[in-house]
Amino acid sequence: MTALLNKLQSTPQDVQTATDYLPYAQPRVPNTIWQYLAGGAGKGHTMQANLTAFDDVKLTSRPLADVKGGNSKLELFGQQFNHPLLLAPIAYQRLFHIDGEQASAMAAVAQSGQMVVSSLASQTLEEIIETANQALWFQLYWQGDRTRTLRLLNRAIEAGYSAVVFTVDAPVKQAVMALPDNISAVNLEPPLAININAHQSKVFDGWMAQAPNWADLAWLRDHISVPLIVKGVMHTEDAERMIHIGCDGLVVSNHGGRVLDGVPSSLEVLPSVVERFSGQTKILLDSGIRHGQDAFKALALGADAVMIGRPFIWGLASAGALGVAHVIRLMRDELEMTMALTGAKDLAAIKQLNLGKTIK
């Protein structure tokens, strides 16, 4: 087996966009771990659709527009950010760099943005937020029952996490590879045992017996005072019910194509959710963002912000916190350049472009 390359100590001069980190990241990560990061569910149709959907949205240049003093600032749930590019929750980040989630949090804060810390983080919630020195968001996976879930939530909130992103599209989340001995979900209790007999279904009577349902979502809303955002929304009827329960935000997401293959791209679903619920709740988009122009297109279709997943991990695997910060900066520059060339001075102006009619 070829020895892995050392992590970079500076950003490469030939990296001009996030995807340019790929040839630097892959040789610095063991192959099994790289396949875990890069892989999708089934035949990978949805993962690919997430990428190609952005090509269907066409832009129009608007030269001579006065955009001096423009910016990509926004406020979300009481926090001010300089751009709408949030770091999505990704598990076990010490698989990619020894500094793990702490490096990503440091980079997000340095770039005046936000990070969503996974339930499956490989460092403690307290260590990560102490490094960030600001309120982060916490991504929640249901922990098999209400008591265990509330213990984890209370720990995050007591540590200073200011919003909860409840992921509902992967009701049973398990590692799909054997983790190294020094990597684990350090914030979680041991999983509940699955006890079924020979005549029962492992899926319906085992895994799904420990999965959350609508009553659990309503219970969750009643038991926390911080903003509650639901991630994994792909149907307007589900979105309507979540808003009725009192959820503060929705993330249109198919989990990066990692859970159920064959569903539409997140971007295809976004306009229908925006059309019905814009102004009633905050709407974010996750899955397929690879470039600042992708973020622009999602914002133009009505998203309030977007989540970046794999690209920031490419930066982390290459150069730690420095690489993550560089990816965020590159994507923000791409976003703002697209804004300038289309005559959009701020995020509100992007929405006024009304690009929904251009998507197939």
Domains and CATH numbers, the chain: 18-172+202-358 (3.20.20.70)
Tell me if residue 255 is catalytic: yes
pLDDT score, position 270? 97
What single-letter amino acid sits at 311?
P
Count of CB atoms within 10 A of residue 186's CB? 14
Q: Can you list the alpha helix ranges (DSSP code H) found in the chain?
A: 22-25, 31-38, 45-52, 100-110, 125-132, 146-159, 214-223, 236-245, 266-277, 292-300, 310-341, 347-351
* Choice between 28 and 354, residue whose per-residue pLDDT is larger: 28
Q: Per residue in 228-271, pLDDT tens?
A: 999 999 999 999 999 999 999 999 998 877 878 888 899 999 99
Residues 24 and 8: beta-carbon distance below 8 Å: yes
Encode pLDDT of 22-71 as tens digits.
Answer: 999 999 999 999 988 887 778 887 888 788 999 989 999 999 999 999 99
Q: Could you write out the three-class secondary structure of 82-146? A: CCCEEECCCCCHHHCCCCHHHHHHHHHHHCCCCEEECCCCCCCHHHHHHHHCCCCEEEECCCCCH
Nearest to 143 by CA among 125, 122, 176, 166: 166
Q: Is the pLDDT of residue 173 over 80?
A: no
Q: Which residues have C-beta within 8 Å of that of residue 238, sequence separation ≥ 6?
A: none
Residue 256 sits at the vertex; the CA angle it makes with 255 and 261, to the nearest 5 degrees, is: 85
Instruction: Pull the structure tokens for residue 218.
Output: 């309503």
What is the per-residue pLDDT for 207? 65
- pTM score: 0.93
- Confidence at residue 206, expressed as pLDDT on a 0 to 100 scale: 64
pLDDT at 194: 80
Residue 176 has pLDDT above 70, yes or no: no
Residue 42: predicted pLDDT: 80
Answer yes or no: is pLDDT of 134 > 80: yes
pLDDT in tens, 204-218: 766 666 788 999 999
CA–CA separation, 149 and 62 (whole Å) = 50
Q: Which member of 97, 255, 291, 326 is catalytic?
A: 255
Contact 311, 21 (CB under 8 A): yes
